[in-house]
Chains A and B, each alone.
Chain A
Amino acid sequence: MNKQAFFLGCVIPLRFPGIEVAARRVFRQLGIDCVDLEGYSCCPEPVVLGLTDREMALAMSARNLALAEKAGADLIVLCNGCYETLAEADHVLRHDEPMKARVAELLASIGARYEGKIRIKHFIEFLHDDVGLERITKAITRPVDVSLALHYGCHLFRETTHPDTWRKPRMMKSLVEAMGARCVDYGLEQLCCGFPISQFDKNAALKERLLPKLKAVSTTNAEALAFCCPACLNQFETGQGGVGDLGVDVARYPCVHVLELLALSLGMPAAELRLDFRSGSTKEFFECFWG
């Protein structure tokens, strides 16, 4: 049986280190020994970079997978985008013979190889399936007594082996509810946050994606938005200010990551999350509920 390694990605360790702290704390507290994947690179990012050059993107992903396989580690991926990139690369390398041969040749040029012996799991599905909700619930000491609107993120719906694209989003909801939170329905849970569009047209992303979601959430009693993707979280946390600049009056919400909530519910002090790096409303939310 393989050990586990975190695939940290770029955004969490470089922009939201508090989420990395939370991840390490959660897994340690649940008794899961996760090592670091030494020498990893960008996954690479699936939208802009992934579409820039397919061969480059697959080679880079395959290198990351090869590193994990050499270390004898399954990957627990903390970011939705990284999960999609790595899971899809693994799928291509198992089923697309010409591309598999080409990538094998490229890896061989640096003395690496990938044989598809590892599992790639989103942290949501690892916690749900491998750890189990019962074990998590038993470990919780400070239930999350808040009403949350969930934003799943587009890449959480990606499946390479299961036909049910709602499989992981349902897991996220179950996990959040296991922490004691109430998940409110707002009808636009599946709508994209607009991050890819914002690379081309910031205003369109705000008007066509963020604003409809915020308006829908504002019809509920949600106290915050919960995410499992750092890019989506960043889009909302920074984008809500942009919506204000458009002159639109809509409620603004604190943006929290599932791992942050889980770490707090397992007893981690809020100060260890380094909330001074986050938006004012998010910081106030955490301090209000967890001191």
Chain B
Amino acid sequence: MTSEAIRRLLEQRLTKARLASGGKDQRRVSVELDAGDIGEAVRALPQDGRSRFVTIVAVDKGLDIELLYSFSLDGVLVTLRTSVQKETSTIDTITPMVPGAAFIEKEISELFGVEFAGHVRRANLVLPDDWPTGKRPMRKPLVGDVIPQARASVENLLSGGTSIRVGPSSAVKREKAGLSKVPPLVSTNDDQMQEFKDLLARTGFDKRAGFDWKKGKLRYK
């Protein structure tokens, strides 16, 4: 199959995935998908023996661990790209479909702390038997793009529209000064505040910063 044919096949079978174009390299196809769809994506590849599993590459991106599953299909490298949040670090094992993935899943599990749910091996494979439990040598601390000095400001900004928190003390001061309790900020109007949040989300800043909208906080301290 050509890379274009592979792309069309995967587009038909994986409606939720995002396929990147091959660009100048006509022997590569990249598919971006949610971690929960990895099994479906592996099953979407031709199951007649032509889809040869190559490896899984783990990349610690600070907030998430990116997993790149590579398959060789008729000389074309097909990469299924997904991520797991470090807070959960869990993805289903693909070993029922691809037994040859057992070794690399175990290696990633030991070195990066990703749990491949359903993987049968318990004992260490690459780390010494007496390696401290929970210590993952390739895993970096949970941290996003925002420097420590900006974190409080970013949280205030994304949750309330100002870099300084609008709190009870400012309301008291303003009332005593004969002003309205709160200045005419975006946070005083629900519709405008939602628009403001939508605007920031469209810039992708919330993802780069690692902001959890539900909690109103960054995912890291």
Q: Is B2 an interface residue (CB 8 A)?
A: no
Q: Which 9 residue pairs are nearest across A and B when measured between Cβ atoms?
A: A56-B205, A13-B183, A41-B161, A17-B177, A14-B170, A39-B192, A199-B149, A274-B177, A110-B195
Whether A17 contacts B209 in the complex (CB less than 8 A), given A11-B164, A40-B184, comes out as no
The SS class assigned to the B binding surface is helix
Interface residues of B in 169-204 (CB under 8 A from A): 170, 173-174, 176-179, 183-186, 188-189, 192, 195-196, 198-200, 202-204
Q: Is A183 an interface residue (CB 8 A)?
A: no
**Is the CB–CB distance between A49 and B153 below 8 Å?**
yes
Q: Is A104 an interface residue (CB 8 A)?
A: no
Distance between Cα atoms of A110 and B201 in the complex (Å): 11
Distance between Cα atoms of A20 and B196 in the complex (Å): 25
Least CB separation from B194: chain A residue: A110
Q: Is A170 an interface residue (CB 8 A)?
A: no
Q: Is B142 an interface residue (CB 8 A)?
A: no
Question: Which residues on the B side are within 8 Å of A55 (C-beta)?
Answer: 203-205
23 contacts between A and B (CB under 8 A): A10-B162, A13-B174, A14-B166, A14-B183, A15-B170, A17-B177, A20-B177, A20-B183, A21-B177, A21-B178, A21-B179, A39-B192, A44-B157, A48-B150, A49-B157, A49-B163, A59-B199, A59-B200, A106-B203, A107-B199, A110-B195, A110-B196, A199-B149
Q: A13-B170, A21-B177, A109-B202 are known contacts; what are 7 more A-B pairs with Cβ within 8 Å?
A: A14-B183, A18-B177, A21-B179, A36-B184, A52-B154, A56-B203, A274-B173
Name B's A-contacting residues (CB within 8 A): 145-147, 149-150, 153-154, 157, 161-164, 166, 170, 173-174, 176-179, 183-186, 188-189, 192, 195-196, 198-200, 202-205, 208-209
Distance between Cα atoms of A45 and B196 in the complex (Å): 16
Q: Is A34 an interface residue (CB 8 A)?
A: no
**Is the CB–CB distance between A106 and B209 below 8 Å?**
no
Over the window 27-47 of chain A, the binary record of Cβ atoms lying under 8 Å from chain B Cβ atoms (1 yes, 0 no) is 000000000111111101100
**Is the CB–CB distance between B189 and A42 below 8 Å?**
no
Whether A44 contacts B163 in the complex (CB less than 8 A), given A21-B179, A56-B205, comes out as yes
Question: Which residues on the B side are within 8 Å of A200 (C-beta)?
Answer: 149
Distance between Cα atoms of A60 and B198 in the complex (Å): 11
The range of chain A's interface size is 35 or more
Question: Which residues on the A side are within 8 Å of B149 (C-beta)?
Answer: 48, 199-200
Q: Is A53 an interface residue (CB 8 A)?
A: yes
Q: Is A252 an interface residue (CB 8 A)?
A: no
